[in-house]
Protein backbone atom coordinates (compact mmCIF):
# COMPACT_ATOMS: atom_id res chain seq x y z
CA UNK A 1 0.00 0.00 0.00
CA UNK A 2 1.47 3.35 -0.98
CA UNK A 3 1.44 6.44 1.17
CA UNK A 4 -1.81 8.37 1.41
CA UNK A 5 -2.08 11.93 0.10
CA UNK A 6 -4.57 14.72 0.70
CA UNK A 7 -5.63 17.48 -1.69
CA UNK A 8 -8.09 20.32 -1.17
CA UNK A 9 -9.73 21.79 -4.27
CA UNK A 10 -11.95 24.78 -4.87
CA UNK A 11 -13.87 24.46 -8.13
CA UNK A 12 -15.21 27.63 -9.73
CA UNK A 13 -17.69 28.15 -12.52
CA UNK A 14 -21.23 26.89 -12.98
CA UNK A 15 -20.86 24.06 -10.46
CA UNK A 16 -23.85 24.32 -8.13
CA UNK A 17 -27.25 22.95 -9.05
CA UNK A 18 -25.76 20.39 -11.49
CA UNK A 19 -25.36 17.41 -9.09
CA UNK A 20 -21.65 18.17 -8.68
CA UNK A 21 -21.53 17.04 -5.04
CA UNK A 22 -23.46 13.80 -5.53
CA UNK A 23 -21.52 12.86 -8.65
CA UNK A 24 -18.27 13.70 -6.88
CA UNK A 25 -19.23 11.40 -4.00
CA UNK A 26 -19.98 8.55 -6.41
CA UNK A 27 -16.69 9.09 -8.30
CA UNK A 28 -14.72 9.18 -5.03
CA UNK A 29 -16.39 6.02 -3.72
CA UNK A 30 -15.66 4.21 -6.98
CA UNK A 31 -11.96 5.10 -6.59
CA UNK A 32 -11.73 4.33 -2.85
CA UNK A 33 -11.08 7.98 -1.99
CA UNK A 34 -12.15 9.45 1.37
CA UNK A 35 -12.99 13.07 2.14
CA UNK A 36 -15.86 15.47 1.65
CA UNK A 37 -17.45 17.91 -0.79
CA UNK A 38 -19.45 21.04 -0.02
CA UNK A 39 -21.09 24.01 -1.72
CA UNK A 40 -19.59 27.36 -0.76
CA UNK A 41 -21.54 30.58 -0.32
CA UNK A 42 -19.53 32.20 -3.11
CA UNK A 43 -20.93 29.72 -5.66
CA UNK A 44 -17.85 27.49 -5.76
CA UNK A 45 -17.59 23.85 -4.66
CA UNK A 46 -14.89 22.84 -2.18
CA UNK A 47 -13.67 19.28 -1.71
CA UNK A 48 -11.02 17.33 0.17
CA UNK A 49 -9.70 14.04 -1.19
CA UNK A 50 -7.58 11.52 0.74
CA UNK A 51 -6.26 8.24 -0.57
CA UNK A 52 -3.81 6.63 -2.93
CA UNK A 53 -1.93 9.24 -4.99
CA UNK A 54 -3.26 8.05 -8.37
CA UNK A 55 -6.86 7.92 -7.14
CA UNK A 56 -6.64 11.39 -5.60
CA UNK A 57 -5.04 12.77 -8.78
CA UNK A 58 -7.92 11.25 -10.77
CA UNK A 59 -10.44 13.02 -8.53
CA UNK A 60 -8.68 16.37 -8.95
CA UNK A 61 -8.68 15.80 -12.71
CA UNK A 62 -12.39 14.89 -12.62
CA UNK A 63 -13.10 18.19 -10.83
CA UNK A 64 -11.71 19.98 -13.87
CA UNK A 65 -14.59 18.54 -15.89
CA UNK A 66 -17.30 17.91 -13.32
CA UNK A 67 -20.59 16.21 -14.13
CA UNK A 68 -22.61 16.79 -17.27
CA UNK A 69 -24.19 20.22 -17.03
CA UNK A 70 -21.28 21.78 -15.13
CA UNK A 71 -19.14 24.52 -16.66
CA UNK A 72 -15.87 24.47 -14.73
CA UNK A 73 -13.85 27.66 -15.08
CA UNK A 74 -10.99 26.71 -12.80
CA UNK A 75 -9.72 24.44 -10.04
CA UNK A 76 -7.44 25.64 -7.23
CA UNK A 77 -5.53 22.74 -5.66
CA UNK A 78 -3.54 22.67 -2.44
CA UNK A 79 -1.73 19.83 -0.67
CA UNK A 80 -2.41 19.07 2.98
CA UNK A 81 -1.37 16.45 5.51
CA UNK A 82 -3.71 13.42 5.47
CA UNK A 83 -5.99 13.11 8.49
CA UNK A 84 -6.95 9.45 8.00
CA UNK A 85 -10.54 10.07 6.92
CA UNK A 86 -12.51 6.85 6.55
CA UNK A 87 -15.28 7.71 4.10
CA UNK A 88 -16.49 10.31 1.62
CA UNK A 89 -19.39 12.57 2.56
CA UNK A 90 -21.43 15.46 1.23
CA UNK A 91 -21.46 18.39 3.63
Report, as residue numbers or ranges, the catalytic residues: 21, 39
Q: What is the DSSP letter of 25?
A: H
Residue 6's closest CA among 71, 67, 52?
52
Phi, psi of 79 (to 5 degrees): -90, 145
For the chain, the residue count is: 91
Amino acid sequence: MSEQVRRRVVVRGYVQGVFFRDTCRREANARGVSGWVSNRRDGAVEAVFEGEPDAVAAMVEWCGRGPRGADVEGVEETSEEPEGLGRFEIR
